[in-house]
Amino acid sequence: MEQQIKNSVLSTAREMIAGGLVEGTAGNLSARLDAERVILTPASLSYKTMDCSDLVITDLKGKVLEGTRQPTTEMALHLTCLANHADIAAVVHCHPVYASMFAVNREPIPSLIEEFDIHVGGDVPVADYQETGSQALATEVSRHLDERGAVLMANHGLLCVGKDLEDALSVALLVERTAKIVWGARLIGKPLALPESTHAKFSPLYKRSRRAARDDT
């Protein structure tokens, strides 16, 4: 299982590049190995050349247990989200163009399509600006994840969570796609909101999936 998760970290990192969610060595990933250990991508290393020996394993307090490289500079962001939310097992932090436009405007991405409610839980909120790599940023971002699968970081980028890395990546791709749809719809005219009855029907599906993930841990 540990090797499978390591392989998933590498494949997800390369999919982030292929999907246009990051460029260069930007962004970072994490996944739970068990109740006490987390695997993280290292700092400043190309995803194209990264292999399993480059990955870093820490405990939830950030003590390095395995690996020779420095963990991502956003380690606190990942560990705080995982420590505070037992119902998530993976974190994807990326800088997609359209979602980042909302982040620099400090504007939530509205849930204007039904699948957004189902897979993200509703509008994507914006965490207040805090300095990159700081515990203040980690704490601020984590508090927005109780009932959402994604949060924007003001003037920074996007963080998404899931039951595994594949799930977290799919959320990131959906958020970026929706941000692009909203951006384009505003150029065409005025986007219309979904009925409140639709939100009431579909957003609880996300909350139930999070509860199910928690019950399985």
Beta strand spans in the chain (E)? 28-32, 37-40, 56-59, 64-66, 90-94, 126-127, 150-153, 157-162
Structure confidence by residue, pLDDT tens digits, 121-170:
999 999 999 999 999 999 999 999 999 999 999 999 999 999 999 999 99
Rg (CA), the chain: 17
Split into its structural domains, the chain has a count of: 1
pLDDT of residue 213: 74
What is the per-residue pLDDT for 202?
96
Distance CA 104, CA 109 (A): 12
Residue in 7, 64, 63 with CA at minimum distance from that of residue 31: 7
In this structure, what CATH number is given to the domain that contains residue 120?
Answer: 3.40.225.10
User: How much is the pLDDT for 169?
Assistant: 98
CA distance 132 to 129: 9
Mean pLDDT of the chain: 96
At 212, is the pLDDT very low, low, confident or very high (cuts 50, 70, 90)?
confident
Per-residue pLDDT of 53-84, as tens digits, reads 999 999 999 999 999 999 999 999 999 999 99
pLDDT digits (tens, 9 = 90+) for 165-198: 999 999 999 999 999 999 999 999 999 999 999 9
Domain encompassing residue 194: 2-216
Which residues are CB-neighbours of 117 under 8 A, at least 6 positions away? 111, 194, 198, 199, 202, 203, 205, 206
What would the mean pLDDT of 2-18 be, rounded to a whole number? 96
Q: Is the pLDDT of residue 210 over 90?
A: no
